[in-house]
A and B are shown apart, each in its own frame.
Chain A
Amino acid sequence: MNDEFVSVSKLNEYVKSYLDQNKILNNIRVRGEVLNIKTYPTSAYFLIKDEQDARISVVMFYRGFNAQKDKLKDGDDIIVTGQVSLYPKGGTYQLIAREVEYFGEGAKLLALKKLKEKLAKTGIFDESKKRAIPRFATRIGVISGKDSAAWADIRQNITRRYPLAEVFYFPCLVQGSDAPKSVISAFIKSQTFDLDVLIIARGGGSSDDLWAFNDESLILKLSERKTPLISAVGHEVDTTLVDYVSDLRVSTPTAAAERAVENQLDLMQDINNNLERIKLSISNLSDKASDKLRNLANRPVLINPINIITPYFNKINDLSLRLGTNFDRTYHNYSQKITLSRERMRNKQIILYNKKEELFKNLNTSLLALSPLNVLERGYAFISDKDNQVIRDPNNIKVGQDIIAHMYKHQIIATVKEKKENE
Protein backbone atom coordinates (compact mmCIF):
# COMPACT_ATOMS: atom_id res chain seq x y z
CA MET A 1 0.00 0.00 0.00
CA ASN A 2 1.26 3.38 -0.87
CA ASP A 3 0.36 6.16 1.57
CA GLU A 4 0.86 8.87 -1.01
CA PHE A 5 -2.23 10.44 -2.60
CA VAL A 6 -3.44 13.82 -3.93
CA SER A 7 -6.67 15.74 -3.48
CA VAL A 8 -9.28 15.85 -6.29
CA SER A 9 -8.61 19.54 -6.63
CA LYS A 10 -4.94 18.94 -7.09
CA LEU A 11 -5.60 16.31 -9.72
CA ASN A 12 -8.01 18.49 -11.64
CA GLU A 13 -5.62 21.41 -11.49
CA TYR A 14 -2.84 19.18 -12.72
CA VAL A 15 -4.85 17.83 -15.66
CA LYS A 16 -6.11 21.34 -16.46
CA SER A 17 -2.59 22.75 -16.61
CA TYR A 18 -1.52 19.71 -18.68
CA LEU A 19 -4.31 20.37 -21.21
CA ASP A 20 -3.75 24.13 -21.21
CA GLN A 21 -0.11 23.71 -22.10
CA ASN A 22 -0.84 21.45 -25.07
CA LYS A 23 -0.44 23.44 -28.26
CA ILE A 24 -2.82 21.31 -30.31
CA LEU A 25 -5.60 21.39 -27.70
CA ASN A 26 -5.12 25.14 -27.32
CA ASN A 27 -6.30 25.97 -30.79
CA ILE A 28 -8.45 23.28 -32.31
CA ARG A 29 -11.34 23.27 -34.79
CA VAL A 30 -14.13 20.74 -34.09
CA ARG A 31 -17.17 20.11 -36.27
CA GLY A 32 -20.48 18.94 -34.75
CA GLU A 33 -24.21 19.40 -34.42
CA VAL A 34 -25.54 21.67 -31.68
CA LEU A 35 -27.43 19.89 -28.87
CA ASN A 36 -29.14 21.01 -25.63
CA ILE A 37 -28.25 24.67 -26.04
CA LYS A 38 -28.84 26.87 -22.98
CA THR A 39 -28.33 30.60 -23.36
CA TYR A 40 -27.62 33.14 -20.64
CA PRO A 41 -27.10 36.87 -20.81
CA THR A 42 -23.34 36.60 -21.23
CA SER A 43 -22.78 33.04 -22.31
CA ALA A 44 -24.23 29.89 -23.85
CA TYR A 45 -23.68 26.21 -23.00
CA PHE A 46 -24.33 23.33 -25.37
CA LEU A 47 -23.06 20.00 -26.60
CA ILE A 48 -21.84 19.14 -30.06
CA LYS A 49 -22.07 15.64 -31.37
CA ASP A 50 -20.87 13.90 -34.49
CA GLU A 51 -22.37 11.09 -36.61
CA GLN A 52 -21.15 8.50 -34.08
CA ASP A 53 -23.03 10.37 -31.37
CA ALA A 54 -19.77 11.29 -29.65
CA ARG A 55 -20.23 14.45 -27.60
CA ILE A 56 -18.31 17.28 -25.99
CA SER A 57 -19.58 20.24 -23.93
CA VAL A 58 -18.97 23.68 -25.34
CA VAL A 59 -19.02 26.95 -23.46
CA MET A 60 -19.36 30.17 -25.42
CA PHE A 61 -18.79 33.57 -23.84
CA TYR A 62 -20.52 36.18 -25.98
CA ARG A 63 -17.85 38.80 -25.65
CA GLY A 64 -15.94 38.88 -28.89
CA PHE A 65 -18.67 37.20 -30.96
CA ASN A 66 -20.84 38.99 -33.49
CA ALA A 67 -24.56 39.20 -32.92
CA GLN A 68 -25.45 36.35 -35.23
CA LYS A 69 -24.02 33.82 -32.84
CA ASP A 70 -26.93 34.57 -30.48
CA LYS A 71 -29.09 32.71 -32.91
CA LEU A 72 -27.30 29.43 -32.58
CA LYS A 73 -29.86 26.68 -32.13
CA ASP A 74 -30.06 22.94 -31.74
CA GLY A 75 -29.38 21.06 -34.95
CA ASP A 76 -27.03 23.69 -36.43
CA ASP A 77 -24.04 22.12 -38.14
CA ILE A 78 -21.13 24.19 -36.88
CA ILE A 79 -17.39 24.36 -36.53
CA VAL A 80 -16.14 25.53 -33.16
CA THR A 81 -12.66 26.97 -32.92
CA GLY A 82 -11.31 27.13 -29.38
CA GLN A 83 -9.39 25.62 -26.55
CA VAL A 84 -9.86 22.25 -24.75
CA SER A 85 -9.75 22.78 -21.02
CA LEU A 86 -11.00 21.26 -17.80
CA TYR A 87 -13.66 22.54 -15.50
CA PRO A 88 -12.07 21.81 -12.13
CA LYS A 89 -15.31 21.71 -10.12
CA GLY A 90 -16.94 19.08 -12.35
CA GLY A 91 -13.82 17.29 -13.42
CA THR A 92 -15.15 17.37 -16.93
CA TYR A 93 -13.33 18.61 -19.90
CA GLN A 94 -14.88 21.06 -22.34
CA LEU A 95 -14.33 23.15 -25.36
CA ILE A 96 -14.13 26.93 -24.75
CA ALA A 97 -15.27 28.50 -28.01
CA ARG A 98 -13.40 31.45 -29.45
CA GLU A 99 -15.16 31.38 -32.78
CA VAL A 100 -18.23 29.62 -34.15
CA GLU A 101 -19.06 29.30 -37.84
CA TYR A 102 -21.67 27.37 -39.74
CA PHE A 103 -20.27 24.42 -41.63
CA GLY A 104 -19.65 25.40 -45.24
CA GLU A 105 -19.68 29.08 -44.34
CA GLY A 106 -15.95 29.41 -44.68
CA ALA A 107 -15.95 28.10 -48.23
CA LYS A 108 -18.92 30.27 -49.09
CA LEU A 109 -17.33 33.36 -47.62
CA LEU A 110 -14.17 32.69 -49.56
CA ALA A 111 -16.13 32.31 -52.80
CA LEU A 112 -17.98 35.52 -52.00
CA LYS A 113 -14.73 37.36 -51.37
CA LYS A 114 -13.40 36.19 -54.73
CA LEU A 115 -16.62 37.22 -56.51
CA LYS A 116 -16.51 40.64 -54.87
CA GLU A 117 -12.91 41.17 -56.03
CA LYS A 118 -13.80 40.03 -59.55
CA LEU A 119 -16.79 42.37 -59.78
CA ALA A 120 -14.83 45.24 -58.24
CA LYS A 121 -12.28 44.92 -61.05
CA THR A 122 -15.03 45.60 -63.61
CA GLY A 123 -15.53 48.98 -61.96
CA ILE A 124 -19.21 48.55 -61.15
CA PHE A 125 -18.62 49.31 -57.44
CA ASP A 126 -16.64 52.48 -58.16
CA GLU A 127 -17.63 55.72 -56.46
CA SER A 128 -17.74 57.35 -59.89
CA LYS A 129 -20.63 55.01 -60.79
CA LYS A 130 -22.74 56.22 -57.86
CA ARG A 131 -25.74 58.33 -58.66
CA ALA A 132 -27.14 60.97 -56.34
CA ILE A 133 -30.49 60.22 -54.76
CA PRO A 134 -32.77 63.02 -55.96
CA ARG A 135 -34.25 65.29 -53.30
CA PHE A 136 -37.74 65.25 -54.75
CA ALA A 137 -38.18 61.70 -55.91
CA THR A 138 -41.83 61.28 -56.83
CA ARG A 139 -41.94 58.00 -58.71
CA ILE A 140 -40.54 55.38 -56.36
CA GLY A 141 -39.94 51.76 -57.31
CA VAL A 142 -39.84 49.14 -54.56
CA ILE A 143 -38.51 45.62 -55.13
CA SER A 144 -39.31 43.56 -52.08
CA GLY A 145 -40.76 40.27 -50.90
CA LYS A 146 -44.42 39.69 -51.65
CA ASP A 147 -46.45 41.12 -48.73
CA SER A 148 -43.24 41.30 -46.70
CA ALA A 149 -42.68 43.32 -43.53
CA ALA A 150 -40.04 45.30 -45.45
CA TRP A 151 -42.63 46.37 -48.03
CA ALA A 152 -45.13 47.24 -45.29
CA ASP A 153 -42.53 49.46 -43.58
CA ILE A 154 -41.62 51.23 -46.81
CA ARG A 155 -45.21 51.69 -47.84
CA GLN A 156 -46.18 53.10 -44.47
CA ASN A 157 -43.24 55.48 -44.26
CA ILE A 158 -43.53 56.85 -47.78
CA THR A 159 -47.26 57.38 -47.29
CA ARG A 160 -46.65 59.21 -44.04
CA ARG A 161 -43.81 61.33 -45.37
CA TYR A 162 -44.59 62.30 -48.93
CA PRO A 163 -48.16 62.16 -50.21
CA LEU A 164 -47.03 63.36 -53.64
CA ALA A 165 -45.27 60.04 -54.22
CA GLU A 166 -46.31 57.44 -56.74
CA VAL A 167 -45.11 54.08 -55.54
CA PHE A 168 -44.59 51.12 -57.88
CA TYR A 169 -44.22 47.87 -55.98
CA PHE A 170 -42.53 44.95 -57.71
CA PRO A 171 -43.04 41.91 -55.45
CA CYS A 172 -40.58 39.07 -55.88
CA LEU A 173 -38.96 36.12 -54.12
CA VAL A 174 -36.23 37.25 -51.75
CA GLN A 175 -35.11 33.90 -50.37
CA GLY A 176 -34.15 30.52 -51.81
CA SER A 177 -32.55 29.37 -55.00
CA ASP A 178 -35.15 31.03 -57.25
CA ALA A 179 -34.78 34.39 -55.55
CA PRO A 180 -31.99 35.83 -57.77
CA LYS A 181 -33.98 35.14 -60.96
CA SER A 182 -37.13 36.59 -59.42
CA VAL A 183 -35.35 39.77 -58.26
CA ILE A 184 -33.79 40.15 -61.72
CA SER A 185 -37.24 39.88 -63.38
CA ALA A 186 -38.69 42.47 -61.01
CA PHE A 187 -35.71 44.73 -61.66
CA ILE A 188 -36.00 44.43 -65.46
CA LYS A 189 -39.68 45.24 -65.19
CA SER A 190 -38.96 48.23 -62.94
CA GLN A 191 -36.61 49.69 -65.54
CA THR A 192 -39.49 50.02 -67.99
CA PHE A 193 -41.04 52.56 -65.59
CA ASP A 194 -39.79 56.09 -65.50
CA LEU A 195 -38.70 56.01 -61.85
CA ASP A 196 -36.89 58.66 -59.84
CA VAL A 197 -35.48 56.15 -57.39
CA LEU A 198 -35.54 52.39 -56.86
CA ILE A 199 -35.42 50.59 -53.53
CA ILE A 200 -34.40 46.94 -53.06
CA ALA A 201 -35.39 45.85 -49.59
CA ARG A 202 -35.44 42.73 -47.51
CA GLY A 203 -35.68 42.31 -43.76
CA GLY A 204 -33.04 40.68 -41.60
CA GLY A 205 -32.17 36.99 -41.75
CA SER A 206 -29.29 34.57 -41.63
CA SER A 207 -26.50 34.95 -44.14
CA ASP A 208 -28.08 32.02 -46.00
CA ASP A 209 -31.38 33.91 -46.15
CA LEU A 210 -29.66 36.91 -47.67
CA TRP A 211 -27.49 34.90 -50.06
CA ALA A 212 -29.62 35.75 -53.10
CA PHE A 213 -28.35 39.31 -52.84
CA ASN A 214 -24.82 38.12 -53.54
CA ASP A 215 -25.79 36.58 -56.86
CA GLU A 216 -23.37 37.51 -59.64
CA SER A 217 -25.94 37.82 -62.46
CA LEU A 218 -28.18 39.95 -60.22
CA ILE A 219 -25.31 42.30 -59.34
CA LEU A 220 -24.30 42.63 -63.02
CA LYS A 221 -27.91 43.32 -63.99
CA LEU A 222 -28.28 45.96 -61.27
CA SER A 223 -25.14 47.68 -62.55
CA GLU A 224 -27.05 48.44 -65.77
CA ARG A 225 -29.70 50.44 -63.89
CA LYS A 226 -31.04 53.74 -65.18
CA THR A 227 -32.42 54.68 -61.77
CA PRO A 228 -30.59 55.62 -58.56
CA LEU A 229 -30.72 52.57 -56.32
CA ILE A 230 -31.10 52.33 -52.55
CA SER A 231 -30.40 48.97 -50.94
CA ALA A 232 -31.82 47.93 -47.59
CA VAL A 233 -31.02 44.24 -47.25
CA GLY A 234 -30.70 42.58 -43.85
CA HIS A 235 -29.48 44.42 -40.79
CA GLU A 236 -26.63 46.82 -40.18
CA VAL A 237 -24.06 43.99 -39.77
CA ASP A 238 -25.11 42.12 -42.90
CA THR A 239 -23.45 43.30 -46.04
CA THR A 240 -24.32 41.83 -49.41
CA LEU A 241 -22.93 42.61 -52.85
CA VAL A 242 -26.17 44.46 -53.67
CA ASP A 243 -25.03 47.01 -51.07
CA TYR A 244 -21.78 47.50 -52.98
CA VAL A 245 -23.43 48.01 -56.34
CA SER A 246 -26.19 50.30 -55.04
CA ASP A 247 -25.89 54.07 -54.89
CA LEU A 248 -26.87 54.19 -51.25
CA ARG A 249 -26.93 51.48 -48.63
CA VAL A 250 -29.14 51.81 -45.57
CA SER A 251 -29.73 49.38 -42.73
CA THR A 252 -33.52 49.12 -42.67
CA PRO A 253 -36.49 49.40 -45.05
CA THR A 254 -37.74 52.38 -42.99
CA ALA A 255 -34.41 54.14 -43.52
CA ALA A 256 -34.73 53.47 -47.26
CA ALA A 257 -38.12 55.19 -47.33
CA GLU A 258 -36.71 58.10 -45.35
CA ARG A 259 -33.85 58.55 -47.79
CA ALA A 260 -36.05 58.15 -50.85
CA VAL A 261 -38.55 60.89 -50.09
CA GLU A 262 -38.65 64.16 -48.22
CA ASN A 263 -40.78 64.51 -45.13
CA GLN A 264 -43.84 66.64 -45.83
CA LEU A 265 -43.55 68.27 -42.39
CA ASP A 266 -39.98 69.36 -43.21
CA LEU A 267 -41.13 70.54 -46.62
CA MET A 268 -43.97 72.54 -45.12
CA GLN A 269 -41.50 74.11 -42.73
CA ASP A 270 -39.14 74.85 -45.63
CA ILE A 271 -41.96 76.52 -47.54
CA ASN A 272 -42.93 78.65 -44.55
CA ASN A 273 -39.30 79.45 -43.85
CA ASN A 274 -38.80 80.63 -47.40
CA LEU A 275 -41.93 82.74 -47.20
CA GLU A 276 -40.72 84.33 -43.96
CA ARG A 277 -37.35 85.06 -45.52
CA ILE A 278 -39.03 86.68 -48.52
CA LYS A 279 -41.14 88.86 -46.25
CA LEU A 280 -38.10 89.84 -44.22
CA SER A 281 -36.12 90.71 -47.35
CA ILE A 282 -38.95 92.85 -48.65
CA SER A 283 -39.30 94.72 -45.39
CA ASN A 284 -35.53 95.24 -45.31
CA LEU A 285 -35.60 96.52 -48.88
CA SER A 286 -38.47 98.88 -48.21
CA ASP A 287 -36.78 100.08 -45.00
CA LYS A 288 -33.68 100.79 -47.02
CA ALA A 289 -35.67 102.60 -49.66
CA SER A 290 -37.48 104.75 -47.13
CA ASP A 291 -34.19 105.56 -45.43
CA LYS A 292 -32.85 106.66 -48.77
CA LEU A 293 -35.95 108.74 -49.39
CA ARG A 294 -35.66 110.34 -45.97
CA ASN A 295 -32.02 111.14 -46.63
CA LEU A 296 -32.88 112.75 -49.93
CA ALA A 297 -35.74 114.71 -48.41
CA ASN A 298 -33.37 115.99 -45.76
CA ARG A 299 -30.92 117.37 -48.29
CA PRO A 300 -30.55 121.21 -47.84
CA VAL A 301 -31.68 121.82 -51.39
CA LEU A 302 -35.08 120.24 -50.75
CA ILE A 303 -35.58 121.70 -47.28
CA ASN A 304 -34.78 125.26 -48.53
CA PRO A 305 -35.41 125.50 -52.28
CA ILE A 306 -34.51 129.23 -52.16
CA ASN A 307 -30.96 127.98 -51.78
CA ILE A 308 -31.06 127.05 -55.43
CA ILE A 309 -31.52 130.61 -56.62
CA THR A 310 -29.50 132.34 -53.91
CA PRO A 311 -26.28 132.16 -55.96
CA TYR A 312 -28.05 133.86 -58.88
CA PHE A 313 -29.28 136.67 -56.62
CA ASN A 314 -25.79 137.11 -55.37
CA LYS A 315 -24.49 137.34 -58.90
CA ILE A 316 -27.04 139.93 -59.87
CA ASN A 317 -26.21 142.02 -56.82
CA ASP A 318 -22.59 141.74 -57.65
CA LEU A 319 -23.15 142.82 -61.24
CA SER A 320 -25.27 145.77 -60.12
CA LEU A 321 -22.54 146.91 -57.80
CA ARG A 322 -20.03 146.72 -60.60
CA LEU A 323 -22.29 148.70 -62.92
CA GLY A 324 -22.22 151.27 -60.13
CA THR A 325 -23.82 154.79 -60.01
CA ASN A 326 -23.95 155.08 -63.78
CA PHE A 327 -26.70 152.52 -63.82
CA ASP A 328 -28.50 154.20 -60.94
CA ARG A 329 -28.45 157.62 -62.60
CA THR A 330 -29.71 156.39 -65.90
CA TYR A 331 -32.48 154.57 -64.17
CA HIS A 332 -33.30 157.65 -62.06
CA ASN A 333 -33.55 159.87 -65.14
CA TYR A 334 -35.88 157.54 -66.86
CA SER A 335 -38.09 157.24 -63.87
CA GLN A 336 -38.28 161.02 -63.50
CA LYS A 337 -39.25 161.36 -67.13
CA ILE A 338 -41.98 158.84 -66.69
CA THR A 339 -43.35 160.60 -63.62
CA LEU A 340 -43.34 163.93 -65.47
CA SER A 341 -45.09 162.56 -68.48
CA ARG A 342 -47.69 160.97 -66.31
CA GLU A 343 -48.29 164.34 -64.55
CA ARG A 344 -48.72 166.12 -67.83
CA MET A 345 -51.10 163.60 -69.13
CA ARG A 346 -53.20 163.93 -66.03
CA ASN A 347 -53.32 167.75 -66.40
CA LYS A 348 -54.38 167.45 -70.00
CA GLN A 349 -57.14 165.10 -69.04
CA ILE A 350 -58.43 167.51 -66.41
CA ILE A 351 -58.57 170.35 -68.92
CA LEU A 352 -60.37 168.20 -71.40
CA TYR A 353 -62.84 167.09 -68.80
CA ASN A 354 -63.57 170.68 -67.73
CA LYS A 355 -64.20 171.70 -71.31
CA LYS A 356 -66.55 168.86 -71.87
CA GLU A 357 -68.42 169.66 -68.70
CA GLU A 358 -68.95 173.26 -69.88
CA LEU A 359 -70.14 172.15 -73.23
CA PHE A 360 -72.58 169.80 -71.61
CA LYS A 361 -73.98 172.63 -69.45
CA ASN A 362 -74.55 174.76 -72.52
CA LEU A 363 -76.22 171.98 -74.35
CA ASN A 364 -78.47 171.34 -71.42
CA THR A 365 -79.55 174.98 -71.35
CA SER A 366 -80.39 174.87 -75.03
CA LEU A 367 -82.28 171.68 -74.56
CA LEU A 368 -84.23 173.21 -71.73
CA ALA A 369 -85.10 176.14 -74.00
CA LEU A 370 -86.52 173.73 -76.53
CA SER A 371 -88.76 171.95 -74.01
CA PRO A 372 -92.54 172.41 -74.81
CA LEU A 373 -93.13 173.07 -71.13
CA ASN A 374 -91.14 176.32 -71.42
CA VAL A 375 -93.27 177.26 -74.43
CA LEU A 376 -96.47 176.59 -72.47
CA GLU A 377 -95.11 178.73 -69.67
CA ARG A 378 -95.06 181.55 -72.13
CA GLY A 379 -98.82 181.18 -72.78
CA TYR A 380 -98.91 178.64 -75.60
CA ALA A 381 -101.07 175.53 -75.66
CA PHE A 382 -101.20 172.34 -77.69
CA ILE A 383 -104.20 170.25 -78.57
CA SER A 384 -104.77 166.57 -78.24
CA ASP A 385 -107.71 164.29 -78.62
CA LYS A 386 -109.36 162.84 -75.56
CA ASP A 387 -106.89 160.00 -75.67
CA ASN A 388 -104.06 162.51 -75.29
CA GLN A 389 -102.89 161.97 -78.85
CA VAL A 390 -101.35 165.29 -80.00
CA ILE A 391 -103.18 166.77 -82.98
CA ARG A 392 -100.83 168.60 -85.28
CA ASP A 393 -102.95 168.91 -88.39
CA PRO A 394 -106.06 171.05 -88.06
CA ASN A 395 -107.63 168.95 -90.82
CA ASN A 396 -107.87 166.15 -88.29
CA ILE A 397 -110.16 168.25 -86.10
CA LYS A 398 -113.86 167.95 -86.70
CA VAL A 399 -116.65 170.24 -85.57
CA GLY A 400 -118.34 168.82 -82.47
CA GLN A 401 -115.24 166.76 -81.53
CA ASP A 402 -114.07 166.77 -77.89
CA ILE A 403 -110.48 167.97 -77.61
CA ILE A 404 -108.10 168.77 -74.82
CA ALA A 405 -106.12 171.99 -74.82
CA HIS A 406 -102.93 171.49 -72.86
CA MET A 407 -101.83 174.68 -71.14
CA TYR A 408 -99.19 175.34 -68.52
CA LYS A 409 -100.18 173.13 -65.56
CA HIS A 410 -103.73 172.83 -66.90
CA GLN A 411 -105.91 170.83 -69.27
CA ILE A 412 -108.93 172.39 -70.79
CA ILE A 413 -111.50 170.03 -72.18
CA ALA A 414 -113.56 171.62 -74.96
CA THR A 415 -115.90 170.83 -77.79
CA VAL A 416 -115.16 172.26 -81.28
CA LYS A 417 -117.90 174.75 -82.31
CA GLU A 418 -116.50 176.03 -85.58
CA LYS A 419 -113.41 175.60 -87.78
CA LYS A 420 -111.91 178.52 -89.67
CA GLU A 421 -108.76 178.89 -91.70
CA ASN A 422 -106.80 182.06 -90.99
CA GLU A 423 -106.78 184.55 -93.81
Chain B
Amino acid sequence: MSETKTFEQKMARLEEIVKLLESGTVQLDKSLTLYEEGSLLASELAKTLNEAKIKIEEITTKTNE
Protein backbone atom coordinates (compact mmCIF):
# COMPACT_ATOMS: atom_id res chain seq x y z
CA MET B 1 0.00 0.00 0.00
CA SER B 2 2.85 2.40 0.91
CA GLU B 3 4.18 2.02 -2.63
CA THR B 4 1.43 4.25 -3.96
CA LYS B 5 2.22 7.07 -1.53
CA THR B 6 4.30 10.03 -2.71
CA PHE B 7 7.67 10.91 -1.23
CA GLU B 8 6.02 13.79 0.57
CA GLN B 9 3.29 11.58 2.07
CA LYS B 10 5.82 9.01 3.21
CA MET B 11 7.99 11.71 4.78
CA ALA B 12 4.93 13.14 6.55
CA ARG B 13 3.97 9.68 7.84
CA LEU B 14 7.52 9.09 9.08
CA GLU B 15 7.44 12.37 10.96
CA GLU B 16 4.03 11.48 12.37
CA ILE B 17 5.38 8.14 13.62
CA VAL B 18 8.31 9.88 15.30
CA LYS B 19 5.91 12.26 17.06
CA LEU B 20 3.62 9.41 18.14
CA LEU B 21 6.49 7.36 19.54
CA GLU B 22 8.09 10.33 21.24
CA SER B 23 4.80 11.26 22.88
CA GLY B 24 5.11 8.04 24.90
CA THR B 25 1.36 7.50 24.77
CA VAL B 26 1.53 4.47 22.50
CA GLN B 27 1.19 0.94 23.87
CA LEU B 28 4.34 -1.15 23.59
CA ASP B 29 2.98 -3.68 21.07
CA LYS B 30 1.49 -0.88 18.94
CA SER B 31 4.78 0.99 19.15
CA LEU B 32 6.62 -2.03 17.77
CA THR B 33 4.27 -2.01 14.78
CA LEU B 34 4.94 1.71 14.35
CA TYR B 35 8.66 1.09 14.63
CA GLU B 36 8.49 -1.49 11.84
CA GLU B 37 6.46 0.86 9.66
CA GLY B 38 8.85 3.74 10.40
CA SER B 39 12.01 1.83 9.56
CA LEU B 40 10.42 0.54 6.37
CA LEU B 41 9.43 4.09 5.37
CA ALA B 42 12.91 5.40 6.11
CA SER B 43 14.56 2.79 3.93
CA GLU B 44 12.01 3.32 1.14
CA LEU B 45 12.59 7.09 1.26
CA ALA B 46 16.36 6.70 1.18
CA LYS B 47 16.06 4.25 -1.71
CA THR B 48 13.78 6.62 -3.62
CA LEU B 49 16.26 9.47 -3.20
CA ASN B 50 19.22 7.33 -4.18
CA GLU B 51 17.62 5.89 -7.26
CA ALA B 52 15.79 8.97 -8.54
CA LYS B 53 16.90 10.63 -11.71
CA ILE B 54 15.83 14.16 -12.57
CA LYS B 55 13.52 14.70 -15.56
CA ILE B 56 13.90 17.84 -17.61
CA GLU B 57 11.54 18.83 -20.38
CA GLU B 58 11.64 21.90 -22.60
CA ILE B 59 8.35 23.42 -23.72
CA THR B 60 8.52 26.09 -26.39
CA THR B 61 5.73 28.51 -27.25
CA LYS B 62 5.07 30.20 -30.58
CA THR B 63 5.98 33.74 -29.68
CA ASN B 64 9.47 32.77 -28.53
CA GLU B 65 10.97 32.54 -31.98
A and B found bound together: yes
A residues sitting closer than 8 Å to B (CB atoms) are: 135-136, 138, 146, 155, 158-159, 162-173, 178, 181-182, 185-186, 188-190, 193, 264, 267-268, 270-272, 274-275, 277-279, 281-282, 284-286, 288-289
Given contacts A165-B54, A278-B42, 19 further A-B contacts (CB under 8 A): A138-B8, A163-B52, A167-B54, A167-B57, A168-B57, A169-B57, A170-B60, A173-B64, A182-B63, A268-B49, A271-B42, A274-B14, A274-B15, A275-B38, A277-B18, A278-B18, A285-B24, A285-B26, A285-B28
Question: How many residues of chain B get a CB closer than 8 Å to chain A's CBs?
Answer: 37
Q: B38 contacts which of A162, A190, A193, A274 (Cβ < 8 Å)?
A: A274
Does B54 contact A158, Cβ atoms closer than 8 Å? yes
Residues of chain B lying within 8 A (CB to CB) of residue A159: 54, 56
Residues of B close to A193: CB separation below 8 A: 59
Is the beta-carbon distance between B18 and A274 smaller than 8 angstroms? yes
Distance of A144 Cα from B44 Cα, bound (Å): 35
Cβ A164 vs Cβ B38 within 8 A: no
Interface code B28-61, partner A: CB below 8 Å = 1, 0 otherwise?
1001101100110010011011001111111111
Please give me the residue from chain B that is nearest to A186 by CB atom. B61
> How distant is A230 from chain B, measured CB to nearest CB, in Å?
18
Taking a contact as CB atoms under 8 Å apart, the answer to whether B49 and A264 are in contact is yes
Known: A185-B61, A278-B35, A286-B28. A169 touches B21 (CB 8 A): no
- B1-26 contacts to A, CB under 8 A, are 6-8, 11, 14-15, 17-18, 21-22, 24, 26
Give every chain A residue within 8 A of B38 (Cβ-Cβ).
Answer: 274-275, 278
Please state if B7 and A169 are interface contacts (CB–CB under 8 Å).
no
Distance of B56 from chain A, by nearest CB (Å)? 5
Q: Kindly state the separation between the CA atoms of A209 and B15 in the bound complex, as whole angstroms.
A: 46
| In the complex, chain B residues whose CB is within 8 Å of the CB of A272 | 42, 46
A138: B residues at CB distance < 8 A = 6-8
A268 touches which of B26, B31, B32, B46 (Cβ 8 Å) = B46
Residues of B within 8 A of A165 (CB): 54-55
CB-nearest residue of chain B relative to A173? B64
* Distance in Å: Cβ of B14 to nearest Cβ of chain A: 5
How far is it, in angstroms, between the C-alpha of A164 and the C-alpha of B52 when the chains are bound? 5
Chain B residues near A288 (CB-CB < 8 A):
24
CA distance A158 to B53 in the complex (A): 11
Beyond A178-B63, A275-B42, A277-B21, is A285–B31 a contact (Cβ under 8 Å)? yes
Q: A136-B11, A264-B49 are in contact. Are A189 and B54 (CB under 8 A)?
A: no
- Alpha-carbon gap, A277 to B39, bound state (A): 11
Could you tell me the distance in whole angstroms from the C-beta of A241 to the nearest C-beta in chain B? Answer: 21
Which chain B residue has the least Cβ–Cβ distance from A279? B35
When distances are taken between beta carbons in the complex, the residues of chain B under 8 Å from A284 are 24
- In Å, the complex CA distance between A288 and B26 comes to 12
Cβ-defined contact, A185 with B49, below 8 A: no
Q: Are A185 and B22 closer than 8 Å at their CB atoms? A: no
- Cβ of A14 to closest chain B Cβ, rounded Å: 65
Contact A163–B63 (Cβ < 8 Å)? no
